[in-house]
């Protein structure tokens, strides 16, 4: 028995270390190809099994994909890539531990291993940042990389995972590590990520506190935001100016947005004052109401604004082989999304977070259908709700869930395993620790 338990722990630690290295270094650009291997390794090492709910989801997805293809067109390669990036994660999330998988420290062990790897990565990123500041080589706000690399969303995902670990260490009572991971998140100069992080804390406070504590924490958050603003203005005035410009554009754009005008400007590669993210969301709402079959079946996996859709459109992908051999352009993506984000606009100051037409929530709703997406969201919520009653890490679970879901509204993080698989592994480890 001891031999068996030790083997299981060793296998789990191997998975934890492998996932951490693949997610937090330049190797993450290969995660798309390695996800099936990672999926098998997770199931074997953590002793998981496919559930009845997962089988029902797969059957519903098959029906949705078949009918969406009949109504529009079939995109087999999109379906395959989306299955790897999205559905494998869904199956992983809704899996259950086998009876002999119970442990008491799987979650803490994963945090320890992955956090140590992330600390090393952050140190290399800091060294790179300091070198660029001293030597005046490169752009400061793009310098916090190190061995994390610049593929994918670069510092956006690095910032997100650092804030995620900061949440854990805050509730674990480690002030030093909390400061370290928050600082690393800030040095990524990801404005939307910072706002999401602070807004998540505010939502958590409103849910879990009395009026006095709500007021106190709100004042503290506003003070922190003010101090962060001052620090950014001192360290990197250019980034501060860019944030102010974005905020002004969002406020003005929300009042004056004209969808048809903005799309015409985008199609003509013209500069748009209104953030294209606003235009994109307005287009999503219009698409939802003008194409009713989306509610039932969606447009098909990987065929709207997902990472899959952009990887295979022959324009956006950074993988030369894919860019040269793939030119898949689903019609709704062509009309609603691609004009807002393509290789022709990056030199016009029309790039940047405020203009990115990315959102996992929108991608799920349009590509997989409203019914399928609602079912996944409900099952996800119920799993977290159940775990929050059983796990000793309730506070972390609740705040991290709020942060993760809000982050999904701002980018396609579900399709970036360096974020989604890290978070789902945390949930799965908590589930193993509480399994009876």
Structure confidence by residue, pLDDT tens digits, 311-367: 998 887 666 666 666 788 999 999 999 999 887 776 555 667 888 899 999 999 999
User: In angstroms, rounded to a whole number, what is the distance separating the alpha carbons of residues 304 and 101?
Assistant: 39
Segment (H or E) for 337: none
Write the CB contacts of 247 (distance below 8 Å, at least 6 apart in sequence): none
Closest CA to 31 of 68, 85, 92: 85
pTM of the model: 0.89
User: In angstroms, rounded to a whole number, what is the distance separating the alpha carbons of residues 145 and 200?
Assistant: 25
CB 23 within 8 Å of CB 421: yes
> What letters, b where the CB count within 10 A reaches 16 and e where it falls short, cover 391-414?
bebebbbbbbbbbbbbbbebbbbb
Average pLDDT over residues 77-83: 95
CB 312 within 8 Å of CB 328: yes
Per-residue pLDDT at 298 exceeds 90 = yes
Q: 65: pLDDT confidence band, cut at 50, 70 and 90?
A: very high
Write the CB contacts of 108 (distance below 8 Å, at least 6 apart in sequence): none
Q: Say how many residues make up the chain.
A: 436
């Amino acid at each position: 028995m001891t031999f068996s338990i030790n083997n299981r722990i060793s296998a789990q630690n191997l998975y934890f270390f492998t996932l951490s290295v693949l997610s937090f270094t330049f190797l993450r650009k290969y995660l798309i190809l390695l996800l099936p291997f990672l999926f098998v390794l997770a199931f074997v090492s953590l002793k998981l099994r496919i559930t009845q709910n997962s089988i029902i989801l797969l059957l519903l997805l098959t029906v949705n994909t078949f009918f969406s293809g009949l109504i529009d067109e079939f995109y087999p390669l999109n379906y395959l890539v989306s299955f790897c990036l999205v559905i494998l994660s869904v199956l992983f999330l809704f899996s259950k531990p086998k009876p002999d998988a119970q442990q008491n420290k799987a979650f803490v062990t994963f945090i320890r291993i992955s956090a140590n790897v992330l600390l090393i990565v952050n140190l290399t990123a800091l060294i790179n940042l300091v070198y660029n500041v001293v030597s005046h080589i490169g752009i400061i706000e793009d310098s916090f990389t190190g061995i994390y690399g610049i593929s994918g969303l670069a510092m956006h995902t690095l910032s997100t995972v650092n804030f995620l670990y900061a949440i854990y260490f805050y509730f674990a009572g480690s002030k030093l590590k909390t400061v370290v991971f928050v600082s690393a998140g800030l040095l990524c100069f990801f404005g939307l990520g910072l706002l999401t992080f602070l807004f998540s804390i505010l939502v958590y406070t409103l849910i879990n506190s009395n009026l006095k504590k709500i007021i106190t924490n709100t004042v503290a958050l506003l003070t922190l935001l003010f101090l962060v603003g001052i620090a950014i203005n001192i360290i990197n005035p250019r980034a501060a100016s860019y944030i102010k410009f974005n905020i002004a554009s969002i406020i003005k754009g929300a009042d004056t947005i004209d969808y048809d005008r903005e799309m015409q400007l985008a199609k003509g590669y013209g500069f748009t004052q209104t953030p294209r993210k606003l235009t994109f969301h307005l287009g999503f709402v219009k698409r939802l109401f003008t194409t009713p079959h989306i509610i039932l079946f969606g447009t098909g996996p990987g065929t709207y604004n997902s990472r899959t859709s952009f990887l295979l459109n022959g324009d956006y992908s950074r993988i030369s082989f894919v860019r040269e051999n793939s030119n898949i352009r689903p019609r709704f993506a062509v009309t609603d999304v691609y004009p807002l984000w393509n290789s022709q606009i990056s030199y016009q100051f029309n790039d940047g977070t405020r203009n990115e037409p990315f959102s996992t929530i929108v991608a799920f709703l349009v590509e997989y259908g409203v019914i399928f997406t609602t079912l996944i969201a409900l099952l996800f919520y119920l799993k977290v709700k159940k775990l929050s009653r059983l796990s000793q890490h309730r506070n972390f679970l609740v705040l991290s869930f709020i942060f993760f879901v809000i982050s999904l509204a701002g980018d396609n993080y579900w399709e970036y395993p360096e974020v989604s698989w890290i978070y789902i592994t945390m949930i799965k480890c908590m589930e193993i620790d509480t399994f009876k």
